[in-house]
């Protein structure tokens, strides 16, 4: 059986083309965050308590950050975060594109509401700190933070005026 040149080229292309399983298109965003040295051991303990190993640090940070960003007072807590220079270590982290977009939105919210520019490390440190405080039973509720308190005071004032009428 004789094949034409076109048929031979087609067969060659088919042999070269390999089929593989679909790959996730979301490779995430790689970054590093500055964490106080004293916090690193507490992070490892909290991860172990939550059944994460050291290779899953990025996943743990992503999970607690996503939970933190659901708080109504997240922007206020981020604005209040500070760190002492020179007391930190950089740790690598990979976050999903979806969480990365949410982080950017909340950082913009911090600028709009608080007039302060914060970075990704600041947001992630705040999420980690709030998670560690929650594990120790010392986390502030949204009602205890200033911005939520102001909203409630304003609501109480408006309710009082409505009662007077």
- The predicted-structure confidence for 129-141, as pLDDT tens digits, reads as follows 999 998 888 776 6
- What are the structure tokens assigned to 81, written together? 């975060």
Q: Give the model's pLDDT for residue 59.
A: 96
Q: State the sign of the Cα–Cα–Cα–Cα dihedral 49, 54, 55, 56.
A: positive
**pTM for the whole structure:** 0.68
Alpha-carbon distances of 93 from 31, 54, 67, 127, rounded to whole Å: 5, 12, 17, 14
Q: Give the model's pLDDT for residue 14.
A: 47
Q: Residue 146: phi, psi to the nearest 5?
A: -60, -50
Q: How much is the CA Rg of the chain, to the nearest whole Å?
A: 25
pLDDT band at 4 (very low <50, low <70, confident <90, very high): low
Q: Give the model's pLDDT for residue 25.
A: 47
Instruction: State the Cα angle at 7 between 6 and 10, rounded to 5°.
Output: 90
Q: Give the model's pLDDT for residue 1.
A: 56
3-state secondary structure of 145: coil
Residue 16 pLDDT greater than 70, yes or no: no
What tens digit of pLDDT does each residue of 19-31 get? Answer: 444 344 457 889 8
Residue 13 pLDDT greater than 80, yes or no: no
Q: Which residue has the tokens 């705040």?
A: 126
Shortest CA distance to 28 belongs to which of 116, 94, 124, 112?
94
Alpha-carbon distances of 124 from 9, 28, 31, 74, 95, rounded to whole Å: 54, 16, 11, 11, 11
What does the pLDDT average to over 21-46? 80
What tens digit of pLDDT does each residue of 62-103 get? Answer: 999 999 999 988 998 999 888 777 788 999 999 999 999 999
Q: Give the model's pLDDT for residue 24.
A: 44
């Amino acid at each position: 059986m004789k094949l034409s040149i076109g048929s031979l080229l087609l067969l060659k292309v088919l042999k070269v083309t390999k089929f593989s399983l679909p790959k996730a298109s979301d490779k995430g965003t790689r970054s590093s965050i500055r964490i106080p040295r004293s916090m690193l051991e507490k992070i490892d303990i909290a991860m172990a308590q939550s059944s994460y190993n050291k290779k899953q640090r990025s996943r743990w940070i992503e999970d607690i950050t996503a939970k933190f960003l659901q708080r109504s007072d997240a922007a206020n807590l981020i604005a209040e975060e500070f760190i002492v220079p020179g007391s930190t270590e950089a740790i690598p982290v990979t976050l999903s594109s979806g969480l990365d977009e949410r982080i950017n939105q909340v950082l913009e919210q911090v600028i709009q509401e608080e007039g302060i520019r914060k970075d990704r490390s600041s947001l992630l440190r705040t999420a980690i700190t709030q998670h560690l405080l929650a594990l120790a039973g010392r986390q502030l509720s949204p009602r205890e933070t200033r911005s939520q308190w102001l909203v409630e005071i304003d609501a109480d004032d408006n309710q009082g005026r409505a009662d007077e009428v």
